[in-house]
Amino acid sequence: MGWLCEQPIPWHSIDAHWLGRAYQHALDEAAVEYKNSTPKSRRTRGVFYTPLALVTHLLDQTLDRTFLDHRTAPVILDPACGCGVFLVEALRRLRSLRPDIPRAALLQAIHGIDIDPLATHLCRLALWLELSNAPESHDSAHTLEPLFDLLEANIVTADTLLDPPGMETVDLLLGNPPFLNQVASSTARSRADTARLRERFGDSLRPYTDPAALFLQLGIESLRPGGRLGMVLPVSLLAARDAVAVRERVAEITSICSLWLDTEGIFDASVRTVAVTFERKTQTSPLRRFVGSGMAPKPEHAAAPLDSTSWGPLAAPLVGVPEMHFRTTQTLGDHCEITADFRDEYYAIARAISEAENSNTQPTRRVATVGLIDPACLAWGERPVKIARQTWHHPCVTHHADDPVLREVLIRQARPKLLIATQSKVLEAAVDHRGEYLALTPIIMLYPKEDPPETNADALWRYGALLSSPVLSAWAAARSFGTARSLHAIKPSAALLREAPLPLDHTAWRASATHYRAACTSHSAKDRNAALLLAAKDSCTAYQVEPAAATRLIAWWQSRLPTPRPQSAPAPK
């Protein structure tokens, strides 16, 4: 930390923000002697300094005069307090709104927990400096000493999730808990920790539940009636599959009050964030929404109960995703089998791949990857793909494979189907009319369940038209919002697509299917895009989208379509 000492330290100017930046720098650069202390330990432990503007925003949304009307000195807790940025600003806000509250009573109301003893020491110091440097403070260090004893009792070192200190419920909970990706080995929890967390959180803990979600559940359960919570969370929590039980619990006992979306990456991390506030009450109110580093206010969302399936639709409009509303009760899953293979199938296929021209005379099955799928287009042989770190131009697999896993895949996928890409800006579906392609994970496959089965191939055009429509692209973008690598990408899952609504106007649906089929069988990118546009217009009619809204929806969809690539061979008519 020598960089901090190039000039005399202005002790009267030091606050929690200065200490927080120093602490973060120390974790990155210094060889300090405590658990997991390496240059990467800050990131693997999810430690990131919270900008003052975001702290101020959360306090603006939670700690106001109305909240203090019936509270003498509200109990405030940060369950992952770090160096005390939230607590110091909350203390300042309290002193500004209620200057009549004695300092001892103020400190008695401030509580913090952190797993790192250095962080808790710095948090106590920051709160101490805030009081001792106050303009009205004329106390000596001797008279302030009892206050530091109080800080020792209220700012504690503990693991909030695994071994929390006993404390009563709180009026206000604030914080920026650690985000720890449970897929990456460097941040995944141990089996022992998983077992202990499951004892405490039950079904809320899933294999890939981010600890930040558990902090949220713990927080809302700690609130007194009328209490408020303001927390910075990973944007993926809005729609992540393994956070659904946490969202259900939150929706049971609180109402969401405000949501801020990070569109600029204000943290020193690759993860995008949201800042949300909740109140422990049953009645709902309009949702206040904000975006970007300037906390720009956006139109409120109408008051409605939280849909625990996904909170994505609350945030997606902040990046321009059109809002969709449906009256239908029928879903794609009612009429189709929608699935995706697992990792073992991927490796079984990858091991058996050869180039088509080298496969002699044995009958082969073409291998399709996500990168070959565009709307109404499967570009096999048009561009190279990488599979298992090897480049292929015409990847295929022979029918006579010895691997039992591969044999099962060959049989299961030998049916007419739709191949649906993941991680794209719009939904992208291509037709495998003859069942001649092997779809490589993570491609999603759709098999119609028509009666009689002979009509399955024709049904592909109808379902392909829906999955290539701007209507379902906007719906999926909202429902999966935050789970993709980009805020502007869609990450559909088989489970999500099963819930996709079907249109009410079947005449317009059939017309859309006719145009989609023309797009699939076109011989140029220009003709394909023209047919897709006609299909899009008919799909909006099928879903009964108002004309003005349909115009905006189609413009949004067109702006996200992939750049035309080389045209693949047309699908069979």
Contacts of 140 (CB under 8 A, 6+ apart): none
Tokens encoding 115:
């797993």
Q: Which of 244-253, 323-332, 456-465 has the highest mean pLDDT?
A: 244-253
**pLDDT for the residue 267:** 80
| Closest by CA position to 256, among listed 285, 223, 215 | 285
Measure the CA–CA gap between 330 and 321, rounded to whole angstroms. Answer: 23
Domain ranges of the chain: 14-314, 332-560
Query: Tell me, what's the pLDDT at 179?
Result: 76
> Across-strand partners of 278?
229, 256
In order, the DSSP letters of 431-494 are: EETTS-EEEPTT-EEEEE--SSGGGHHHHHHHHHHHHTSHHHHHHHHHHTTTSSSSTT-B---H
Q: Tell the CATH topology of 14-314.
A: Rossmann fold (3.40.50)
Cβ count near 361 (within 10 Å): 5
Report if pTM > 0.85. Answer: yes
Residue 144: the pLDDT is: 64
From the options 3.40.50.1100, 3.40.228.10, 3.90.220.10, 1.10.10.60, give the CATH code of 332-560.
3.90.220.10
pLDDT over threshold 60, residue 135 = no
The C-alpha atoms of residue 296 and residue 477 are separated, in whole angstroms, by 22
Domains 14-314 and 332-560 share a fold: no
Q: What is the pLDDT of residue 193?
A: 84
Q: How crowded is the C-beta side of 288, counted as CA atoms within 13 Å?
A: 14
| 99 pLDDT tier (thresholds 50, 70, 90) | confident
How many CB atoms are located within 10 Å of the residue 202 CB? Answer: 10
Token pair for residue 20? 């927080």
- Write down the mean pLDDT value for the chain: 86
Predicted confidence (pLDDT) per residue in 474-507, tens digit: 999 999 999 999 999 999 999 999 999 999 999 9
**2-11, 235-244, 260-269, 443-452: lowest mean pLDDT where?**
2-11
Q: Give the span between the Cα atoms of 528 and 380, in whole angstroms.
A: 17
Query: pLDDT band for position 252 (50/70/90)?
Result: very high
Cβ atoms of 254 and 308 within 8 Å: the answer is no
**Residue scoring higher pLDDT (37 or 325):** 325
Question: Of 173-177, 187-191, 296-300, 456-460, which range is least confident?
Answer: 187-191
Residue 512 near residue 550, CB atoms below 8 Å: no
Residue 30 in this model has a pLDDT that exceeds 50: no
Confidence class for position 364, pLDDT limits 50, 70, 90: confident
Tracing tokens 């209490």 back to the chain, one arrives at 227
Position 2 scores a pLDDT of 36
Kindly report, residue by residue over 519-548, the tens digit of the pLDDT.
Answer: 999 989 999 999 999 999 999 999 999 999
Other C-beta atoms closer than 10 Å to the C-beta of 480 total: 24
Task: pLDDT band for 471, please (50, 70, 90 cuts).
Answer: very high
Residue 565 three-state SS: coil
Sequence-distant (6+) residues with CB within 8 A of 330 are 501, 502
Cis before 452? omega within 30: yes
User: For the chain, what percent of residues have pLDDT higher than 70?
Assistant: 83
Least confident residue range of 22-26, 36-40, 188-192, 310-314: 36-40
Is the pLDDT reported for residue 21 higher than 70? no
Dump pLDDT digits (tens) for 416-442. Answer: 999 999 999 999 999 999 999 999 999
> What is the pLDDT at residue 130?
84
**Cβ atoms within 10 A of the Cβ of 145, count?**
12
- pLDDT tens, 110-129? 999 999 998 998 899 889 88
Inter-residue contact 83 to 130 (CB < 8 Å)? no
pLDDT score of 102: 84
What does the alpha-carbon distance between residue 496 and residue 338 come to, in Å, rounded to a whole number?
A: 10
Question: What's the pLDDT band for 182 if we cut at 50, 70, 90?
Answer: very low
| Residue pair 252/230 in contact by the 8 Å Cβ criterion | no
Strand boundaries in 377-433, DSSP class E: 377-378, 385-387, 390-392, 395-398, 417-420, 429-432
pLDDT of residue 303: 87
**Burial of 239: CB neighbours in 10 Å, binned 0-12, 13-18, 19+:** buried
